[in-house]
Amino acid sequence: MATLNVFSQPLHPTTISSSLCSSSSNSTFSCHFSLLSSHSSPTLSKLSNHVHTHFSKSGNGSSWLQSSSTADSIAHKKGPVYSVFPSSPAQVSSVQDLYEFICSGPLLYKIGLTPEKVAESIDKWLSYGRQLCRLFQLNELFLTEPQKVRLYHYYIPVFLWCESEIAQHQAKFKDKEDIPPLVIGFSAPQGCGKTTLVFALEYLFQMIGRKSATISIDDFYLTAEGQNKLREANPGNALPEYRGNAGSHDLPFSVETLTALTKMSREGTKMKLPRYDKSAFGGRGDRADPSTWPEIEGPLTVVLFEGWMLGFKPLPVEAVKAVDPQLEIVNKNLKAYYDAWDKYIQSWIVIKIKDPSCVYQWRLQAEIAMREAGNPGMSDDEVRDFVSRYLPAYNAYLPTLYSEGPSGSDPQHLLNIEIDEKRNPILCV
């Protein structure tokens, strides 16, 4: 392979390529780094603060996201940062180690890439890896194996697939036509890392100049008053007692929001994205005050829409009653969700799990991490009760989602990703 210059892409402050100096003892890279400035851009600072707030609040137990004290000192040091290497211009003798690692990823062929295409675009892989290391404040000199897997086998391949979907979507329109944003749906169980994945994608879109918006099905929950009415209308049924299952969302509100998002195709158009406050009313939740909703401005290129039950299809009544009789009302409510959510989605990513019980384990890990960090967290029994309200829907609807795809999905624009108990993609045969 020919020698490549990893700095052919714009180099942002405080970046030292993780792909060049990994923790691997077999690394053959010869690196010399120049003096770098440590002043971050406002966008990066804002997103970095957000991601640390997100992880501290969610306690999601992302063991891959562990940076060493070296990375922490680089991230927080004031003034210029000097690399631990001689400060001469970067010289890269080989990228073979990283290239082979990328080509060993389980998603490579699924997203239409070959080793030859990876070789041609290796500079982009290096640039995206650099950006994500900055976002998550990882130690770029010594990435752990889980960190390398998460970046180069998962986040970057999914981003490249999204970019391909955007290109195909935009090609359908003529010159000077307003191009509506592509809506990509992410159907994934709770706790599997979909929020972090979407967060990473949104950041990469910003870094290449694309405007994006992120919305979750959680943002469309009924108000506290609406939840109370739903609970009162279904006495004795544990599934609609709390928010979560079909029937606990304000579908007219979601239609209004998604319709408005698809019209954000012109410069200067603005709208606020709804948000939900899960901490309100002692944890029962309520729609957040509109004054706190983030504002976005068009033209949007892509909308990232994520949720645990996106794409679920209603089943014959007897089939759902066989799983849990309480599901009958949920199944009935689910019939309206295609028109409210799924029909807006042109491209789909489905994150698959082998056993729904993983949801319980992941949630338990998250709550334990929160308690250990001194934050309020559910007890083990509360976690078990919480997850039990979702498991019937998982058991009933995931088999059809995995075998047939989401409601109205096009197999040519559907990416299935099976993950293991560590939330990393695995090779499916």
Could you read off the pLDDT of 163-173 as tens digits, one per residue? 999 999 999 99
Q: How many CB atoms lie within 10 A of CB 319?
A: 14
The H-or-E segment that residue 132 falls in is helix 122-136
**By the 8 A CB rule, do 239 and 233 touch?**
no
Q: List the one residue out of 302, 314, 301 whose CA is nearest residue 406.
A: 314
Could you read off the pLDDT of 207-217 as tens digits, one per residue? 999 999 999 99
Please report, rounded to a whole number, the percentage of residues in the chain having pLDDT higher than 90.
65
Q: How many CB atoms lie within 10 A of CB 364?
A: 18
Per-residue pLDDT of the chain (429 residues; tens, 9 = 90+): 433 333 333 333 333 333 333 333 333 222 322 222 333 444 444 444 444 444 444 445 566 775 433 333 323 333 333 333 333 333 333 478 889 999 999 999 999 999 999 999 999 999 999 999 999 999 877 889 999 999 999 999 999 999 999 999 999 999 888 999 999 999 999 999 999 999 999 999 999 999 999 999 999 999 999 999 999 999 999 999 999 999 999 999 999 999 999 999 999 899 999 999 988 888 888 999 999 999 999 999 999 999 999 999 999 999 999 999 999 999 999 999 999 999 999 999 999 999 998 999 998 888 888 788 887 777 888 888 888 999 999 999 999 999 999 988 999 999 999 999 999 999 865
Domain layout of the chain by residue ranges: 176-426
The pLDDT assigned to 428 comes to 66
CATH number, domain 176-426, options 3.90.180.10, 2.70.70.10, 3.30.200.20, 3.40.50.300 = 3.40.50.300
Please report, rounded to a whole number, the percentage of residues in the chain having pLDDT higher than 70.
78
Q: Kindly write down the DSSP assignment for every residue of 103-130, as one continuous string.
A: HT-TTTGGGT--HHHHHHTHHHHHHHHH
**By the 8 A CB rule, do 131 and 204 touch?**
yes
Q: Is 30 helix (H, G, I), strand (E, B) or coil?
A: coil
> Is-above-0.75 flag for pTM?
yes
Beta strands in 146-278 (DSSP E): 182-187, 212-216, 270-272, 276-277
The pLDDT assigned to 407 comes to 86
Beta strands in 243-346 (DSSP E): 270-272, 276-277, 286-287, 295-297, 302-307
Reading the block at residue 285, the tokens are 């939740």
